[in-house]
């Protein structure tokens, strides 16, 4: 899925350019160029090295800035640089990172793989959006190589320490917090847009053999904490308003604090590639738990939000298309054939994964979300 951003999208990023203008600053993508926002405004938030100071200004400032940028693009005001001449930086100083598991199909598939003969989806999964707390310090920008992690794995005879043999990656969608909350305060599903600044694409790298050994009784830890890739551009949440859809029916009905009114899902079409071969095209609108429910659950115990917090959807899988190699290869039992004639079960060194996506509006038009790209570097022994 290859596209360029147009004037209906206007995502934010942080870039630097060659020569004397190498200081990172905030820009907006327009086609194959970047509009340098420091040439539109002297406000110091646009000269910052992350989007955090800008996001901290709140939703009214976000929308006023977006209107100003639209006007500038229409009139050709401001300085534009070729995107090819710039270096993109991690757009957000990530405060906390939480990853959910919100696809019923993915939860079912994982249960069938790891607990054959049992109910694949445990009862608590339908009561709340389950998730885990990740490591914000290992969130990297698209294009950054991911080093194959080492850890404790089982070889069916003993537990050994070494490079993961089952390196996986999951196709996900992430949401960036632009407005925090007070300790003890619960954020309702209806307050979602007041706190969420924008959307990124997420590659959640996973060492499945490390994860399976450590996940009883506490859940993911080192098998997930070594790297998470996000796209270089953050698409404002307002740009997805026309792509909102009614989420799948939930049974049993969620508790009062997780109930939503009206369309709470998003019609997004993802494309998941490995070495240039399309593996799948899963649909985000099929996700069982919505982003607003994830945020409400995250804060339901009074946990505080901070500017720059990131939470991810979990693997995006639907009933026909899967968003992880774990599912696509059925835990390595069904090798995947690539266009170059090679086969994969899990990732090999030097493999490159690309996740891209578009939002489908009610009128059929599409909004580009960009891409998240990552390659596998050999383990450091």
Query: Is residue 73 a part of any domain in this protein?
Result: yes
- Contact by Cβ (8 Å): 358, 366: yes
Q: Which two tokens stand for residue 50?
A: 């992350």
In DSSP terms, 289 is beta-bridged to none
Half-sphere exposure for 160 (CA within 13 Å, toward CB): 8
| Chosen domain end from 89, 115, 139 | 89
CATH of the domain at 170: 3.90.850.10
Q: What is the pLDDT of residue 2?
A: 55
> How far is residue 357's CA from residue 231's CA, in Å, rounded to a whole number?
11
Does residue 217 share a domain with residue 81?
no
Q: Which residues contact 53 (CB under 8 A, 6 or more apart)?
A: 44, 45
Burial 106-132 (b: 16+ CB within 10 A, else e): bbbbbbbbeeeeeebbeeebbebbbbb
Range of the domain at 175: 97-377
Does residue 85 share a domain with residue 101?
no
Does residue 122 share a domain with residue 79?
no
Does residue 101 share a domain with residue 42?
no
CATH of the domain at 41: 2.30.30.230
The Cβ of residue 1 has, within 10 Å, a number of other Cβ atoms equal to 18
Query: Is residue 16 a part of any domain in this protein?
Result: yes
Query: Is residue 102 a part of any domain in this protein?
Result: yes
Does residue 143 share a domain with residue 116?
yes
Active-site annotation, residues: 106
Query: Is residue 2 a part of any domain in this protein?
Result: no
Q: What is the pLDDT of residue 21?
A: 57
Taking the alpha carbons of 52, 284, 241, 180 in that order, is the dihedral positive or negative? Answer: negative
Does residue 314 share a domain with residue 278?
yes
Among 259, 210, 231, residue whose Cα is nearest residue 379? 210
Q: What is the pLDDT of residue 1?
A: 60
The Cβ of residue 245 has, within 10 Å, a number of other Cβ atoms equal to 17
Q: What is the pTM of this model?
A: 0.97
Does residue 357 share a domain with residue 242?
yes
> How far is residue 17's CA from residue 82's CA, in Å, rounded to a whole number?
10
Does residue 198 share a domain with residue 328?
yes
Does residue 203 share a domain with residue 82?
no
Domains contained in the chain, number:
2
In the chain, which residues have pLDDT < 50? none
Query: Is residue 3 a part of any domain in this protein?
Result: no
Among 171, 124, 133, residue whose Cα is nearest residue 287? 171
Q: Which two tokens stand for residue 2?
A: 């290859």
> How far is residue 381's CA from residue 370's CA, in Å, rounded to a whole number?
34
Does residue 315 share a domain with residue 175?
yes
Does residue 128 share a domain with residue 47?
no
Does residue 148 share a domain with residue 103?
yes
């Amino acid at each position: 899925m290859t596209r360029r951003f147009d004037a209906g999208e206007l995502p934010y990023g942080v870039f630097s350019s060659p020569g004397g203008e190498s200081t990172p600053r905030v820009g907006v993508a327009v086609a194959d160029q970047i509009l340098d926002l420091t040439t539109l405004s002297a406000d110091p938030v646009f000269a910052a090295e992350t989007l955090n100071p800008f996001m901290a200004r709140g939703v009214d400032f976000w929308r006023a800035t977006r209107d100003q940028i639209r006007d500038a693009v229409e009139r050709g005001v401001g300085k534009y640089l070729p995107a090819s001449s710039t270096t993109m930086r991690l757009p957000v100083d990530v405060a906390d990172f939480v990853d959910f598991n919100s696809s019923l199909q993915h939860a079912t598939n994982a249960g069938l793989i790891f607990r054959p003969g049992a109910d694949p989806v445990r009862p608590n999964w339908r009561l709340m959006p389950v998730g885990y707390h990740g490591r914000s310090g290992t969130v990297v920008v698209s294009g950054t190589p991911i080093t194959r992690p080492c850890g404790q794995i089982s070889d069916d005879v003993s537990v050994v320490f070494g490079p993961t043999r089952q390196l996986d990656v999951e196709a996900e969608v992430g949401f960036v917090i632009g407005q925090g909350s007070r300790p003890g305060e619960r954020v309702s599903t209806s307050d979602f847009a007041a706190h969420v600044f924008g959307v990124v694409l997420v590659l959640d790298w996973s060492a499945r053999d490390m994860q399976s050994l450590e996940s009883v009784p506490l859940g993911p830890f080192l098998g997930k904490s070594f790297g998470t890739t996000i796209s270089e551009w953050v698409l404002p949440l307002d740009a997805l308003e026309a792509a909102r859809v009614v989420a799948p029916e939930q049974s049993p009905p969620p508790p009062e604090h997780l109930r939503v009114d009206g369309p709470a899902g998003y019609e997004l079409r993802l494309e998941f590639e490995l070495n240039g071969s399309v593996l799948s095209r899963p649909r985000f609108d099929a996700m069982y738990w919505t982003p607003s429910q994830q945020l409400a659950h995250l804060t339901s115990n009074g946990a505080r939000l901070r500017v720059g917090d990131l939470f991810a959807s979990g693997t995006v899988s639907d009933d026909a298309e899967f968003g992880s190699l774990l599912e696509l290869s059925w835990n390595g039992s069904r090798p995947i054939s690539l266009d170059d004639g090679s086969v994969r079960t899990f990732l090999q060194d030097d493999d490159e994964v690309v996740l891209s996506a578009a939002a489908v509006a009610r009128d059929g038009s599409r909004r580009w979300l960009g891409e998240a790209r990552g390659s596998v570097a050999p383990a450091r022994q």
